[in-house]
Amino acid sequence: MRTPLTLLLILLIIALLFCQCKKNNDEIINQNIIYADFTSSEEVADTLSITDTALTYNIARFTPKHKYDSVIWEIDNGALVQKKEILTLRFIDEGTYNITMIGFSSSSGKVIKDKIVKPFHIVSREGGASYLGNFRGYVLGMETDTFTVKVFRIEQDLTSYPGNSHVLSNLPKGCVSELPPDGITPLTTLYFGYNMFVTDAPRCFPGTKCFGNLHAGNLVIDFAIKDTTQPFNPLTGSYPLVPKKFIGHRL
């Protein structure tokens, strides 16, 4: 037969175990595991380029690589704090910023906290793009026919273009887009980021666009040309488009 003292001890043990279980269920476990990660991208004309560098005033996007119940972002140790799944920002000032992602998820009644910090670099739009210059290369499938593509920056204001526009010239081969004497002749101007650009003019790409990326020292440009040997399509108002890829190295 159990004595009242024995019953009291049993009740105390049960109470302690209950409290301990509740504490374990509520605790936050800081993992900082190697799987915690996020991607940094620069948005150029609604197209994303994964990079650790962006130009001032362009949209930078930070996206977790894993699904969390909630995510907190910190810029430079709390200079800016936002709670959202995907963070988008425009940086005005040049420099290197520390981007911190803190992800929270629940597992077996416990809150898991992942944390990772990465640097993100911001450079000036005026001449900051990495792909400015001359590139000698070829269109894929025509490796023996090499030519030079030029990507340059307009340093003065023209009538029809904003200051510091970027221009693509000699792509497709023979379609030269140089500074016009009248200031209004069409150019193949670009939406531009640090590593990436997208065309926004009909000079050499009427009815279509092209996308350029500088990667590992090579400039890769995906573009399309109209195949006028094929029937005209009245529904699209154009001839069929043939995809092409230019690959060049900096001169």
Q: What is the pLDDT of residue 11?
A: 41
Mind giving me the DSSP string for the chain?
---HHHHHHHHHHHHHHHHHHHHHHHPEEE---TT--EEEEEEETTEEEE-SEEETTSEEEEEESS--SEEEEEETTTTEEEE-SSEEEE--S-EEEEEEEEEEEEETTEEEEEEEEEEEEEE-TTT--TT-EEEEEEETT-TTS-EEEEEEE--S-BTTB-TT-EEEES-STT------TTS-S---EEEE-SSEEEE--SSS-TT---EEEEETTEEEEEEEEE-TTSPPBTTTTBPPEEEEEEEEEE-
Q: What is the pLDDT of residues 64-123, one digit of tens each?
A: 998 899 999 999 988 889 999 999 999 999 999 999 999 998 876 788 888 999 999 999
Q: How confident is the model at residue 228 (pLDDT cuts 50, 70, 90)?
A: confident
Please name the fold of domain 28-123: Immunoglobulin-like (2.60.40)
pLDDT at residue 196 tops 60: yes
Q: What is the pLDDT of residues 120-135, one digit of tens each?
A: 999 998 878 999 999 9
Least confident of 32-36, 136-140, 190-194: 32-36
Q: What is the pLDDT of residues 144-174, one digit of tens each?
A: 999 999 999 887 777 777 666 899 999 999 9
Check residues 54 and 181 and name the one with the higher pLDDT: 54
Q: What is the mean pLDDT of the chain?
A: 83
Q: How confident is the model at residue 23 (pLDDT cuts 50, 70, 90)?
A: very low
**Is the entire prediction scored with pTM above 0.85?**
no
Q: Where are the domains of the chain?
A: 28-123, 133-250
Mean pLDDT (whole number) for 187-202: 87
Please state, for a pLDDT cut of 90, what percent of the chain lies above it: 49
